[in-house]
Amino acid sequence: MVITLGKPKTKENALEFKYINYNRIGAIFFIILLIFIGFFGFICNYYGEGPIDSSLIWYYQLFFKVTLSKNIFLLKSIPVLPLILTFTGYYLTNREELSLKGIKISLYFIPLTHLLSILWYWFNVSQINIEPIRLLFATWQGYLTIFLTIACILFGSFIGIKVKQYKLLKRKLILKKEV
């Protein structure tokens, strides 16, 4: 649903004409909730009442520890955290008409994820200090966390692009290249 505000676009009022796309805003809000409640919810469920350590900042250490313990598709455990990040890239890229715009929106969630991990760390430790920022930007584990977050989101975006190309190919809107 696209709502237009203002008069029709002419040369005189070209700067006044705005589009508000509520579908895009809703998708971004859904992904923010998914990361905040789903991603960090699984991490907090993993810790339970135990003490929080630096792996809340270096969450790459929890990628394969935090699992879904249901027996789905004959798998004993499913790693949830990389799947949530991959789904973020896939969903935002697959929804957009231009795939590069979807990748750009997906990349905005990398600093958001790290900002939320710093906020969760401060909330769980009950004091605000510079320790999580030091853990994230002054150690190699922090940079590994940033790199793996980028890799998961870009992998999901690549899958979203390929699925969109497949859908367009099936509808015969794009032609397959002959080699």
pTM for the full model?
Answer: 0.77
Domain boundaries, the chain: 22-170
The token duo for 91 is 């969903």
Tell me which residue of 104, 111, 77 sits closest to 160, measured CA to CA.
Answer: 104
CA distance 3 to 22: 8
pLDDT of residue 111: 92
pLDDT of residue 60: 78
The pLDDT averaged over each successive group of 10 residues in the chain (179 residues) is 52 58 84 86 76 74 71 64 90 88 90 89 83 89 91 94 89 67
pLDDT of residue 90: 94
Q: In sequence order, what are the residues at sequence separation of 6 or more whose Cβ sits closer than 8 angstroms to the Cβ of residue 66?
A: 42, 43, 45, 46, 79, 80, 81
pLDDT of residue 18: 63
CA distance 111 to 107: 8
pLDDT of residue 96: 86
Task: Output helix, strand, coil percentages for the chain, rounded to the nearest 5.
Answer: 65, 10, 30
